[in-house]
Amino acid sequence: MHLEPHRTAILSLDVQNDLVETTPGVRDSGMLDRMAALVGAGRAAGATIVHITASVRPDFRDIPKDNPLWITIRKQRSMIMGTKGAQIHESVAPRDDELVINKTCVDPFLTTNLGQALVNADANTLILFGLWTNYVVEATARHASDMGYRVFIVSDCCASNDAENHKWAMERILPTLSYIATTDEILHALKKTS
């Protein structure tokens, strides 16, 4: 695996307090430490770090109206802008010079300027991690691979609302769209270049 950090963007996807608290296996698996290590190594190597969030208005007028996923968000009253639950988890908290891009749907290339930000960064490689594997991670990988990006998914820094959903996406879907790597593999590749 060869990475050019100055042409690599690391995307932290929906690592927000509400999802960290409700996603099985995140808190007790060392995943947050691995996520922090990835972001730290990316910074040290000179990669672009982009934080993607999914936060909505309290009246929910900015999200899909008739969609089971978003109906659940409404019922739970989670991911609301300005709340602690919608904040990016402290383990991967953005620096002042890093982009934070908010979306109001699953795919971060929609309802945002992510595409322009990646062009501005001159990125040709994306490293993805976050919550949930079969939602934002998969949607981002699909869109990015269709656009011609080389995409890596950090397998031990992703989780989903259900272990079977994570496993299915990681074993059946994502390998057809991207390269699957572990945190250690990505850290090693970033170290070789810094």
CB 99 within 8 A of CB 125: no
Q: Which domain holds residue 188?
A: 5-193
Q: How far is CA 70 from CA 148, 149, 184, in A?
A: 29, 29, 34
CATH of the domain at 26: 3.40.50.850
Q: Which residues of the chain have pLDDT under 70?
A: 194
* Strand-pair partners of 48: 9
Q: What is the pLDDT of residue 1?
A: 87
Helix-helix angle 31-45:183-193, to 10 degrees: 20
CB 7 within 8 A of CB 123: yes
Q: What is the pLDDT of residue 40?
A: 98
Structure tokens at 105: 């749907």
Domains of the chain: total: 1
What is the SS3 assignment for the chain?
A: CCCCHHHEEEEEECCEHHHHHHCCCCCCCCHHHHHHHHHHHHHHHCCEEEEEEECECCCCCCCCCCCHHHHHHHHHCCCECCCHHHCECHHHCCCCCCEEEEECCCCCCCCCCHHHHHHHCCCCEEEEEEECHHHHHHHHHHHHHHCCCEEEEEEEEEECCCHHHHHHHHHHHHHHCCEEECHHHHHHHHHHHC
**Total-model pTM:** 0.95
Residue located via tokens 């945002």: 112
Q: What is the pLDDT of residue 67?
A: 85
Q: What is the pLDDT of residue 65?
A: 84
Burial class (CB in 10 A: 0-12, 13-18, 19+), 173: middle
Cis before 132 (ω within 30): yes
